[in-house]
Amino acid sequence: MSPTTDGRRPRIVVVGHGMVGHRFVAAAVERGLTATHDVVVLGEEPRAAYDRVALTSFFEVGADALSLLPGGAYDDPRVTLRLTTAVVGIDRDARTVTTAEGEEIAYDELVLATGAAPFVPPVPGKDLDGCFVYRTIEDLEAIRTAAAPGPDGTRKRGVVIGGGLLGLEAANALHQLGVEAHVVEMAPRLMPVQLDETGGATLVRHIEKLGLTVHCGVASTEVLDDGTGRVAGLGLRDADPIAADIVVFSAGIRPRDGLARDAALEVTPRGGVLVDERLRSVTDPHVWAIGECAAPAGVMYGLVAPGYAMAEIVVDTLLGGTAGAFTGADMSTKLKLLGVDVASFGDAFATTPDALELVFSDAVAGLYKKLVVGPAPDAPDSWVLLGGILVGDASAYGLLRPMVASGMLLPDNPEELILPESRGALQLGLPDEAVVCSCNNVTKRDLLDAVDVDGAHRCEDLGATKACTGAGTTCGSCVPTVKGIIEDYFTAVGKAVDTSLCEHFALTRQELFDVVAVHGYRSFTEVVEGHGTGRGCDICRPTIASILASQLGGHVLEGETGALQDTNDAYLANIQKNGTYSVVPRIPGGEITPEKLIVIGEVARDFGLYTKITGGQRIDLFGARMEELPAIWTRLVDAGFESGHAYGKSLRTVKSCVGSTWCRYGVQDSVQLAIDLELRYRGLRSPHKLKGGVSGCARECAEARSKDFGVIATEKGWNLYVAGNGGATPRHAELLVGDVDTATLVRYLDRFLMYYIRTADRLQRTAPWVESLDGGLERVREVVVDDALGLGSELEAAMARHVDSYFDEWKATLDDPAKLARFVSFVNAPDVPDPAITFTTERGQVRPAEPDAPVDLGASIPVGAPR
């Protein structure tokens, strides 16, 4: 496109930087629209786009974890993002927008992505102090402040007006904050748009078990005033009022179309900019609307997936494409509300002529599953799936929802799809055009193209396929289906994914673990003679060493086992870039006495070590030469320290806040539990390193949900989260079980860790391990909580053996002259330090000298002398 008359490149102005506005910009960059256009994004909020779908998790993970643009800016220099910039007017004749500061910004194409605003019913008292809406992070921060216990520690009471999706999310937020929560819904059931009467009743039973109170079929009349302008409660029609300190309005949303109305753009009677199938305003061809502020064909869509589809269509149209047209959207929903799986898809209320309902209900187990089926148009005596509802167990959602859009014929007994032990729809064969991931509009054909062994794309595992196609990267509900399609395809084309551990063993790590257990092997030699070939390699040797350590205990340097270890385990310390080692003593729960703190300082001073407080609440001592390690350990062991296992694929730390001991918000003693768990699982060898965390309240100061296992205190006990992951691929831990006592928590955690150790692949963290399991977290819950495999006692016994056999590897090494003999730089000159190790100083501490940097000669010193 040629430059404009004022000499600048054509400019697209995007008003709004929520999830849909961000998706438009991301698509514009990815598809090359910024090669011809500049993009200016004007966001009214003070922060860049973030994940509103997961808004409730803000209390657990913080704002940074929700951000869709962590750096706060786009890499493409043709995109300008301006936050805290409200647009107050549009001049369609001049093609400019005006900001609240009076600045005029010209546009050639204007994209409105202003979203929606919470609907606040016009009840008296709605503006009292203590009334909130539930829409932004700032709203949640205000609710969190109001939810803090009173000076005397009394628990606050809160009421949410609205029992739909947003209302239950708001109730979940209050519940997480320790507020006594009530939900008021005018309809006769919860989630009236998605659930029928029985489904809603099933959901109520689940929610009330958690301690919340649900009031359905009642209308709010007024917010009661305590006489000082603050909330005192909520008045109800034909029912007793509810005493409350907090009222949250979450009764739906309305399109933010004020700008459009002021600019004389046509809007629908129910709100929203009226647009055509390409999302272009029917009033002005240079104005577009996407997301919740748009009303294609007069309908407003309040889910993120339709908004994403709209964004993609506008980008395609601006690029000159003709393929995209918005003709409606899949309004299916799957989510976890207060720990309860809920899903609704297709024609859930059987409004289609001749539709029939197939229902499975188990009131005791809290399960309700309904399929709506109808006659197949072109196949007499056959049926197709029209929709359904799932409450309590939505594991089949990823398989059932694509079947609705595909129109595929159902089996003779379609009830098998929802009955226990269902055979599953994957075996029925989804057609290629079936949309598997509705959030990102990924079809089965898209997945097959990504893994086609004869094509240019060769994604060979789930992670690569997700990265390539986007499937499963938004809500994640389709991940099991995506995994099944990939595996089925490879099987069909005869392409076997080699699961051998290495060239010496044609077995997986899990199979080797079982082999060692069954045969009672006690050495690498026995394992390789029985099931492998050759002498092993740097893959199988440490792996089998870890398996032997997990099952047998014993010192990792004992006998031939010592020769199997990698560099870190071989010297019980972490090797650093200049050949020195770091020493990390264990500090359980981060709690340390002044006397022990002084010892660490003295050791660091006397051996000239660099000191760093780690994110896991320990102190790392860097720069120790190999031959210095025993002397350093001696000082630390004599002071009561032990190995922190920072060098091993084992438990590192269990981080904690100060909990109820010191913090005014703490509801449980998180420090004691963190110490107990760290001492219980110390030295536990596993496929990869393990990290834990314990937070004393829902404010989550220990960041427990970024850990392999995380524990968060509640008024009733503990919530256990599992399979979180930091590092290169962050992932939040998910709730395994809630409100359990300490003994139950430990029992389930014992099972979880031993199940992971027994079945995970080599170097597989807990997050990808759970994702790789058929059924994912639900499978883990079946094994760990429900004991579906009958392994509970066996896993607990394995952990008990570990606890009983623990010993400190540092002290055991110091007590064994044979093991100490390895700690020398030169075997033929044990008293000579490695001259290649040199240091310089920076910020008052030593650091490795760079190869070409001047060397601080005073930093190269005799063994054991102060640096």
CA geometry: angle at 308 spanning 74 and 264, to 5°? 95
Give the tens place of pLDDT for each residue, 69-97: 988 899 999 999 999 999 999 999 999 99
Do 178 and 300 have their domain in common? no
Which two tokens mark 716? Answer: 């009733």
Q: Is 475 annotated as a binding residue?
A: no
Examine the domain organization and report whether 563 and 661 are in the same domain.
Answer: no
**Cα–Cα distance between 535 and 525 in angstroms, integer?**
8
pLDDT at 864: 43
**Residues 734 and 762 occupy one common structural domain:** yes
Q: What is the pLDDT of residues 605-657, one digit of tens each?
A: 999 999 999 888 899 999 998 889 999 999 999 999 999 999 889 999 999 99
CA 666 vs CA 312, 656, 657, 695: distances in Å: 46, 12, 9, 8
Segments in 760-791 forming alpha helices (H): 766-772, 776-784
Q: Do the beta carbons of residue 676 and residue 750 sit within 8 Å?
A: no
Residues 540 and 674 in one domain: no
Residue 226 belongs to a domain with what CATH number? 3.50.50.60
Mean pLDDT check: name the lowest of 27-36, 205-214, 265-274, 558-567: 558-567
Domain assignment of residue 163, yes or no: yes
In a domain, 415, yes or no: no
Q: How many CB atoms lie within 10 A of CB 127?
A: 9
Longest dimension (CA), the chain: 93
Residue pair 652/678 in contact (Cβ under 8 Å)? The answer is no
Among 757, 779, 807, where does a domain finish? 807
Strands 734-740, 220-225: pairing kind: unpaired
Residue pair 643/582 in contact by the 8 Å Cβ criterion: no
pLDDT of 3 reads: 53
Question: Would residue 6 count as lying in a domain?
Answer: no
Q: For residue range 219-246, list pLDDT tens digits in order.
A: 999 999 999 999 999 999 989 999 999 9
- β-strand 11-15 against 38-42: which pairing, if any? parallel
- What is the DSSP secondary structure assignment for residue 494, as one 8-state letter? T
Residues facing residue 654 across a β-bridge: 692
Q: What is the pLDDT of residue 133?
A: 95
One domain, residues 660 and 791: yes
Q: What is the pLDDT of residue 737?
A: 95
Res. 557: pLDDT tops 60: yes
For the chain, the straight-line distance linking the first and the last C-alpha, in angstroms and rounded, comes to 66
Please give the helix or strand (H or E) that residue 358 lies within, else none.
Answer: strand 356-362
pLDDT average, residue stretch 590-596? 92
Distance, in Å, from the CA atom of 760 to the CA atom of 755, rounded to the nearest integer, reads 8
Find the range with the poorest average confidence among 260-274, 422-436, 539-553, 823-837. 422-436
**pLDDT surpasses 50 at 425:** no
Task: Please check whether residue 66 is in contact with residue 58, taking contact to mean a CB–CB distance below 8 angstroms.
Answer: yes
* Confidence (pLDDT) at 813: 92
Q: What is the CATH number of the domain that holds 701?
A: 3.30.413.10
- Please say which residue of 517, 547, 571 terminates a domain: 571
Give dist(CA 610, CA 841) in Å, integer.
10
From CA 443, how far away is CA 440, in angstroms rounded? 9
DSSP per-residue letters across 186-214: SSSSSSTTT--HHHHHHHHHHHHHTT-EE
pLDDT at residue number 859: 41
Q: Which pair of tokens denotes residue 440? A: 């990102």
Q: What is the pLDDT of residue 831?
A: 66
User: Looking at the domain assignment, is residue 478 inside a domain?
Assistant: no
Phi, psi of 372 (to 5 degrees): -105, 120
- Look at 355-369, 383-397, 461-475, 685-699 and tell me which has the smallest mean pLDDT: 461-475
131 is in an annotated binding site: no
630 assigned to some structural domain = no
pLDDT average, residue stretch 322-351: 81
Nearest in space to 488 (alpha carbons), one of 571, 415, 544, 424: 424
Q: Which of 398-407, 448-457, 513-522 is the least confident region?
A: 448-457
Beta-carbon contacts of residue 671 (< 8 Å; ≥ 6 apart): 589, 590, 591, 656, 657, 658, 659, 661, 694, 696
Strand partners, 216: 185
Specify burial of residue 539 (Cβ count, 10 A radius: 0-12, 13-18, 19+). Answer: middle
Residues 235 and 266 in one domain: no
Same domain, 55 and 191: no
Looking at residue 867, what is its pLDDT? Answer: 44
pLDDT tens digit sequence for 808-860:
999 999 999 888 888 876 555 566 676 768 888 888 888 888 655 444 434 43
d(CA 290, CA 585): 55
Contact 630, 814 (CB under 8 A): yes
Give yes or no: residues 73 and 137 share one domain. Answer: no
Give DSSP secondary structure letters for 91-112: ETTTTEEEETTS-EEE-SEEEE
- Which of 290, 318, 346 marks a domain boundary? 318
Q: What is the mean pLDDT of the chain?
A: 86
Q: Is 663 annotated as a binding residue?
A: yes
Phi, psi of 720 (to 5 degrees): -110, 120
- When mean pLDDT is compared across 338-352, 488-502, 559-573, 745-759, the lowest value belongs to 488-502
What is the rounded average pLDDT of the residues 394-406? 79
478 among the known binding-site residues? no
Q: What is the model's pLDDT at position 848?
A: 86
One-letter amino acid of 559:
G
Name residue, tokens 């860790």: 753
- Output the CA angle 812-818-823, nearest 5 degrees: 85
Residues 212 and 293 in one domain: no
Find the domain containing 184 and state its range. Answer: 131-251
Q: Alpha helix locations (H) across 496-537?
A: 509-519, 524-531
Residue 689 within a domain? yes
Share of the chain above pLDDT 90, in %: 49
How much of the chain exceeds pLDDT 70, in percent? Answer: 91
List, as own/partner pairs, every contact residues 523-532 make where C-beta atoms lie below 8 angstroms and the sequence separation is at least 24, other chains included. Answer: 523/548, 523/559, 523/560, 523/561, 524/548, 524/560, 524/561, 524/564, 525/560, 528/504, 531/505, 531/507, 532/504, 532/505
Shared domain check, 61 and 93: yes
Beta strands in 109-218 (DSSP E): 109-112, 116-118, 131-133, 157-161, 180-185, 213-216
Q: Which three-class secondary structure state does DSSP give residue 620?
A: strand
Contact 595, 601 (CB under 8 A): no
Q: Using CA atoms, how far apart are residues 708 and 654, in angstroms rounded to an integer? A: 10
Q: How far apart are CA 226 and CA 531, in angstroms?
A: 76
Average pLDDT over residues 575-596: 88
Cα separation of 714 and 831, whole Å? 56
Confidence of residue 581 (pLDDT cuts 50, 70, 90): confident
Provide mean pLDDT across the span 147-161. Answer: 88
Distance CA 417, CA 207 (A): 26
Are 299 and 221 in a shared domain? Answer: no
Among 135, 213, 205, CA closest to 179: 213
Q: Does any domain span residue 640? A: no
299 with 270, same domain? yes
The answer as to whether 473 is a domain residue is no
3-class secondary-structure state, position 792: helix
What's the mean pLDDT in 447-456?
Answer: 74
- Distance (Å, rounded) from C-alpha 735 to C-alpha 705? 9
Domain count for the chain, please give it: 4
Using only C-alpha atoms, the chain has a radius of gyration, in whole angstroms, of: 30
Distances (CA, A) of 495 to 131, 450, 457, 505: 60, 15, 15, 20
